[in-house]
């Protein structure tokens, strides 16, 4: 009888630990193609995650014939637009140099250290990047793009939530 109780207790403990582990794992909540069509998940699930204050990461990338790059970033600012779309700003970055032959990275050109790369993106797969010179206070380049995007959350994003402007 004691062994049966111990076995039952261990099974229950294992189940709780497994459930806790799953709720702390990152999972895809939304994936869109370059046109913004949903490939996986839903925008509502992402909106719920934002409203619930869950941790979020966004991934995207590109591939040409011989080169590919993948990015993953934590947004610094999020907004829900008309309860339908999510937009995110990324932390400004000082861009590094990539030597594609050796796949080495560096800050090779020290004159560019005052230049930042800033990005705003959305669940419509819009990706607007600008290069900005902080020292000269000037916009160097703007490059609107479309990307396949994957939005990750940590925890249970199925929990429905009310708009942040609601009194509920």
For residue 49, report the phi and psi dihedrals to the nearest 5 degrees: -65, -40
The structure's pTM equals: 0.82
Contact 59, 40 (CB under 8 A): no
For residue 92, report the phi and psi dihedrals to the nearest 5 degrees: -55, 140
Residuewise pLDDT in 10s, the chain (168 residues): 565 554 444 454 455 544 554 567 999 999 999 999 999 999 999 999 999 999 999 999 999 999 999 999 999 999 999 999 999 999 999 989 999 999 999 999 888 899 999 999 999 999 999 999 999 999 999 999 999 999 999 987 777 788 888 888
Question: What SS3 state is found at 100?
Answer: coil
Task: Look up residue 111 and give its DSSP letter.
Answer: G
CA distances from 66 to 23, 69, 98, 148 (A): 38, 11, 14, 19
Report the alpha-carbon angle 104-109-110, nearest 5. Answer: 120
């Amino acid at each position: 009888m004691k062994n049966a109780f111990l076995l039952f207790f261990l099974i229950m403990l294992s189940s709780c630990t497994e459930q806790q582990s799953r709720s702390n794992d990152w999972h895809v909540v939304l994936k869109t193609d370059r046109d913004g069509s949903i490939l996986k998940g839903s925008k509502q699930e992402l909106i719920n995650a934002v409203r619930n204050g869950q941790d979020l990461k966004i991934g995207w990338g590109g591939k040409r014939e011989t080169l590919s790059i993948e990015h993953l970033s934590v947004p610094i600012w999020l907004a829900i637009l008309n309860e339908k779309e999510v937009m995110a700003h990324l932390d400004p970055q000082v861009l590094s140099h990539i030597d594609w032959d050796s796949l080495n990275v560096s800050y090779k050109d020290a004159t560019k250290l005052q230049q930042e790369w800033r990005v705003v993106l959305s669940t419509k797969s819009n990706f607007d990047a600008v290069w900005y010179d902080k020292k000269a206070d000037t916009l160097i380049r703007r490059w609107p793009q479309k990307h396949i995007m994957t939005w990750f959350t940590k925890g249970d994003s199925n929990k429905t939530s009310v708009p942040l402007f609601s009194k509920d």
